[in-house]
Amino acid sequence: NAGVTQTPKFRILKIGQSMTLQCAQDMNHNYMYWYRQDPGMGLKLIYYSVGAGITDKGEVPNGYNVSRSTTEDFPLRLELAAPSQTSVYFCASSYEADSYNEQFFGPGTRLTVL
Amino acid sequence: GQNIDQPTEMTATEGAIVQINCTYQTSGFNGLFWYQQHAGEAPTFLSYNVLDGLEEKGRFSSFLSRSKGYSYLLLKELQMKDSASYLCAVRDFSQAGTALIFGKGTTLSVSS
Protein backbone atom coordinates (compact mmCIF):
# COMPACT_ATOMS: atom_id res chain seq x y z
CA ASN A 1 0.00 0.00 0.00
CA ALA A 2 1.23 3.48 -0.90
CA GLY A 3 -0.98 5.00 1.81
CA VAL A 4 -1.80 8.67 1.21
CA THR A 5 0.00 10.32 -1.70
CA GLN A 6 0.11 13.99 -2.63
CA THR A 7 1.37 15.87 -5.66
CA PRO A 8 3.15 18.15 -6.21
CA LYS A 9 5.61 18.31 -3.31
CA PHE A 10 6.50 21.94 -3.97
CA ARG A 11 4.89 24.71 -5.99
CA ILE A 12 5.35 28.44 -6.47
CA LEU A 13 2.35 30.39 -7.75
CA LYS A 14 1.86 33.99 -8.72
CA ILE A 15 -1.01 35.95 -7.22
CA GLY A 16 -4.22 35.21 -9.10
CA GLN A 17 -3.08 31.91 -10.58
CA SER A 18 -4.98 28.72 -9.94
CA MET A 19 -3.89 25.16 -9.26
CA THR A 20 -5.08 21.79 -8.03
CA LEU A 21 -3.38 19.88 -5.25
CA GLN A 22 -3.80 16.17 -5.80
CA CYS A 23 -4.44 13.62 -3.04
CA ALA A 24 -5.06 9.91 -3.34
CA GLN A 25 -5.32 7.01 -0.88
CA ASP A 26 -5.36 3.28 -1.51
CA MET A 27 -6.64 2.13 1.90
CA ASN A 28 -10.34 2.23 0.97
CA HIS A 29 -10.91 4.92 3.59
CA ASN A 30 -14.26 6.68 3.70
CA TYR A 31 -13.09 9.92 5.29
CA MET A 32 -10.63 12.30 3.69
CA TYR A 33 -9.42 15.68 4.91
CA TRP A 34 -7.44 18.68 3.78
CA TYR A 35 -5.43 20.65 6.35
CA ARG A 36 -3.10 23.60 6.13
CA GLN A 37 -0.20 24.12 8.50
CA ASP A 38 1.35 27.54 8.98
CA PRO A 39 4.60 28.07 10.93
CA GLY A 40 4.01 27.95 14.68
CA MET A 41 0.35 27.14 14.20
CA GLY A 42 -1.65 23.97 14.51
CA LEU A 43 -3.14 22.12 11.58
CA LYS A 44 -6.36 23.78 10.41
CA LEU A 45 -9.10 21.83 8.61
CA ILE A 46 -10.02 23.26 5.19
CA TYR A 47 -12.48 20.73 3.80
CA TYR A 48 -13.42 17.14 4.47
CA SER A 49 -15.35 14.33 2.80
CA VAL A 50 -17.22 11.41 4.32
CA GLY A 51 -17.46 9.49 1.06
CA ALA A 52 -17.61 9.80 -2.71
CA GLY A 53 -19.86 12.68 -3.72
CA ILE A 54 -20.05 14.18 -0.23
CA THR A 55 -17.90 17.11 0.87
CA ASP A 56 -18.24 19.83 3.49
CA LYS A 57 -16.43 22.86 4.83
CA GLY A 58 -14.01 22.83 7.71
CA GLU A 59 -12.67 25.69 9.78
CA VAL A 60 -10.89 27.66 7.00
CA PRO A 61 -12.56 26.93 3.62
CA ASN A 62 -12.44 30.39 2.00
CA GLY A 63 -10.47 30.47 -1.24
CA TYR A 64 -10.60 26.70 -1.73
CA ASN A 65 -12.82 24.11 -3.37
CA VAL A 66 -12.87 20.33 -3.34
CA SER A 67 -14.52 17.43 -5.09
CA ARG A 68 -14.73 13.70 -4.33
CA SER A 69 -15.76 11.75 -7.40
CA THR A 70 -14.14 8.50 -6.23
CA THR A 71 -13.27 6.93 -2.89
CA GLU A 72 -9.58 7.21 -3.70
CA ASP A 73 -9.16 10.83 -4.82
CA PHE A 74 -9.75 14.13 -3.08
CA PRO A 75 -8.27 17.10 -4.98
CA LEU A 76 -8.08 20.61 -3.52
CA ARG A 77 -8.54 23.54 -5.88
CA LEU A 78 -7.19 27.06 -5.40
CA GLU A 79 -8.92 29.39 -7.87
CA LEU A 80 -7.28 32.78 -7.28
CA ALA A 81 -4.10 32.29 -5.31
CA ALA A 82 -3.30 34.87 -2.63
CA PRO A 83 -0.18 35.32 -0.47
CA SER A 84 -2.26 34.28 2.57
CA GLN A 85 -2.49 30.81 1.03
CA THR A 86 1.25 30.28 1.36
CA SER A 87 1.37 27.23 3.59
CA VAL A 88 2.03 23.51 3.80
CA TYR A 89 -1.01 21.49 2.80
CA PHE A 90 -1.62 18.00 4.17
CA CYS A 91 -4.19 15.53 2.99
CA ALA A 92 -5.30 12.84 5.44
CA SER A 93 -7.66 9.90 5.47
CA SER A 94 -9.32 7.58 7.96
CA TYR A 95 -11.68 4.63 7.72
CA GLU A 96 -14.24 6.19 10.02
CA ALA A 97 -14.36 9.36 12.12
CA ASP A 98 -14.92 7.91 15.53
CA SER A 99 -13.21 5.97 18.28
CA TYR A 100 -9.77 4.62 17.53
CA ASN A 101 -9.63 5.42 13.85
CA GLU A 102 -6.48 7.45 13.39
CA GLN A 103 -5.90 9.77 10.48
CA PHE A 104 -3.11 8.89 8.06
CA PHE A 105 -1.33 11.86 6.54
CA GLY A 106 0.22 12.38 3.14
CA PRO A 107 3.73 13.88 2.76
CA GLY A 108 2.42 17.41 2.19
CA THR A 109 2.58 20.06 -0.52
CA ARG A 110 4.61 23.21 0.17
CA LEU A 111 2.94 26.11 -1.62
CA THR A 112 4.34 29.62 -1.96
CA VAL A 113 2.26 32.42 -3.48
CA LEU A 114 4.23 35.46 -4.60
CA GLY B 1 -15.04 27.21 22.30
CA GLN B 2 -12.30 24.78 21.49
CA ASN B 3 -8.79 25.33 22.74
CA ILE B 4 -5.71 23.14 23.05
CA ASP B 5 -2.58 24.28 24.87
CA GLN B 6 0.85 22.69 24.93
CA PRO B 7 4.32 24.11 25.54
CA THR B 8 6.04 25.57 22.51
CA GLU B 9 9.48 24.11 23.08
CA MET B 10 11.25 21.61 25.32
CA THR B 11 14.82 20.38 25.52
CA ALA B 12 16.23 17.18 26.98
CA THR B 13 19.31 14.97 26.79
CA GLU B 14 19.77 11.50 25.38
CA GLY B 15 18.65 8.75 27.73
CA ALA B 16 16.46 11.07 29.79
CA ILE B 17 12.68 11.06 30.29
CA VAL B 18 10.52 13.95 29.13
CA GLN B 19 6.84 14.69 29.71
CA ILE B 20 4.90 16.87 27.25
CA ASN B 21 1.67 18.24 28.67
CA CYS B 22 -1.52 19.12 26.84
CA THR B 23 -4.64 20.79 28.21
CA TYR B 24 -7.83 21.09 26.23
CA GLN B 25 -11.30 22.57 26.23
CA THR B 26 -13.80 21.10 23.77
CA SER B 27 -17.56 20.79 23.46
CA GLY B 28 -17.76 17.16 22.39
CA PHE B 29 -14.70 15.21 23.48
CA ASN B 30 -14.33 11.93 21.62
CA GLY B 31 -10.70 10.95 22.08
CA LEU B 32 -7.22 12.44 22.20
CA PHE B 33 -4.37 11.69 19.81
CA TRP B 34 -0.66 12.35 19.91
CA TYR B 35 1.21 12.68 16.63
CA GLN B 36 4.94 13.04 15.95
CA GLN B 37 6.09 15.31 13.17
CA HIS B 38 9.72 15.54 12.05
CA ALA B 39 10.72 18.76 10.33
CA GLY B 40 9.48 18.85 6.75
CA GLU B 41 7.53 15.62 7.10
CA ALA B 42 3.96 14.50 7.68
CA PRO B 43 2.54 13.85 11.15
CA THR B 44 2.60 10.20 12.16
CA PHE B 45 0.35 8.60 14.76
CA LEU B 46 1.80 7.84 18.20
CA SER B 47 -1.05 7.17 20.60
CA TYR B 48 -4.75 7.40 21.32
CA ASN B 49 -6.66 7.82 24.60
CA VAL B 50 -10.41 7.92 25.04
CA LEU B 51 -10.71 6.62 28.61
CA ASP B 52 -8.91 7.94 31.68
CA GLY B 53 -5.59 6.37 32.42
CA LEU B 54 -2.26 5.44 30.95
CA GLU B 55 -1.61 3.80 27.60
CA GLU B 56 1.88 2.39 27.14
CA LYS B 57 3.53 1.60 23.84
CA GLY B 58 7.22 0.85 24.07
CA ARG B 59 9.21 3.96 25.01
CA PHE B 60 6.10 6.13 24.63
CA SER B 61 3.19 6.43 27.07
CA SER B 62 0.17 8.71 27.03
CA PHE B 63 -2.10 9.64 29.90
CA LEU B 64 -5.58 11.15 29.91
CA SER B 65 -7.76 12.75 32.58
CA ARG B 66 -11.08 13.76 31.04
CA SER B 67 -12.33 15.51 34.17
CA LYS B 68 -9.27 17.77 34.16
CA GLY B 69 -9.06 18.20 30.38
CA TYR B 70 -5.47 17.06 30.57
CA SER B 71 -3.14 14.68 28.82
CA TYR B 72 0.56 14.06 28.72
CA LEU B 73 2.95 12.19 26.46
CA LEU B 74 5.86 10.54 28.23
CA LEU B 75 8.98 9.67 26.27
CA LYS B 76 11.53 7.42 27.95
CA GLU B 77 15.15 6.62 27.07
CA LEU B 78 15.30 9.57 24.73
CA GLN B 79 17.17 9.19 21.48
CA MET B 80 18.42 11.83 19.06
CA LYS B 81 15.81 10.70 16.53
CA ASP B 82 13.07 11.77 18.99
CA SER B 83 13.86 15.40 18.15
CA ALA B 84 10.61 16.43 16.49
CA SER B 85 7.37 18.32 17.00
CA TYR B 86 4.71 16.53 19.07
CA LEU B 87 1.12 17.41 18.26
CA CYS B 88 -1.77 16.97 20.67
CA ALA B 89 -5.12 16.63 18.89
CA VAL B 90 -8.62 16.20 20.25
CA ARG B 91 -11.45 14.57 18.32
CA ASP B 92 -14.56 16.68 18.81
CA PHE B 93 -17.88 15.29 17.59
CA SER B 94 -19.39 18.78 17.68
CA GLN B 95 -17.00 19.88 14.94
CA ALA B 96 -17.45 19.51 11.20
CA GLY B 97 -16.59 15.96 10.18
CA THR B 98 -15.89 15.06 13.82
CA ALA B 99 -12.62 16.73 13.04
CA LEU B 100 -9.39 16.65 14.97
CA ILE B 101 -8.57 19.93 16.67
CA PHE B 102 -4.80 20.30 16.80
CA GLY B 103 -2.62 22.14 19.27
CA LYS B 104 0.27 24.20 17.93
CA GLY B 105 2.76 21.48 18.73
CA THR B 106 5.71 21.12 21.10
CA THR B 107 9.14 21.14 19.50
CA LEU B 108 11.42 18.75 21.39
CA SER B 109 15.17 19.03 20.98
CA VAL B 110 17.26 16.10 22.21
CA SER B 111 20.97 16.71 22.70
CA SER B 112 23.82 14.33 23.40
Q: How many CB pairs under 8 A join A and B?
A: 68
Scan residues 54-93 of A and list those with Cβ closer than 8 Å to B: 56-59, 90
The sign of the CA dihedral A39, B17, B12, B68 is: positive
Report the gap between the CA of A69 and the closest CA in chain B (Å). 18
SS3 A47: strand
Chain A residue nearest residue B33, CA to CA:
A102
- Distance between CA atoms of residues B31 and A101, nearest Å: 10
For chain B, the average pLDDT equals 93
Q: What is the pLDDT of residue A41?
A: 87
Average pLDDT over residues B10-23: 98
Chain A residue nearest residue B34, CA to CA:
A102
Percent of chain B with pLDDT over 70: 97
Q: A97 falls in which pLDDT band (50, 70, 90)? A: low
In the predicted structure, residue A100 carries a pLDDT above the cut 90: no
Strand-pair category, B70-75 with B18-25: antiparallel
- Distance between CA atoms of residues B89 and A103, nearest Å: 11
Percent of chain B with pLDDT over 90: 82
Q: B26 falls in which pLDDT band (50, 70, 90)? A: confident
In the predicted structure, residue A40 carries a pLDDT above the cut 90: no
- Of A73, A82, A79, A94, the C-alpha closest to A22 is A73
| B3–A contact, CB cutoff 8 A | no
Q: What is the pLDDT of residue A95?
A: 85
Average pLDDT over residues B57-83: 97
Cβ-nearest to A40 among B98, B99, B104: B104
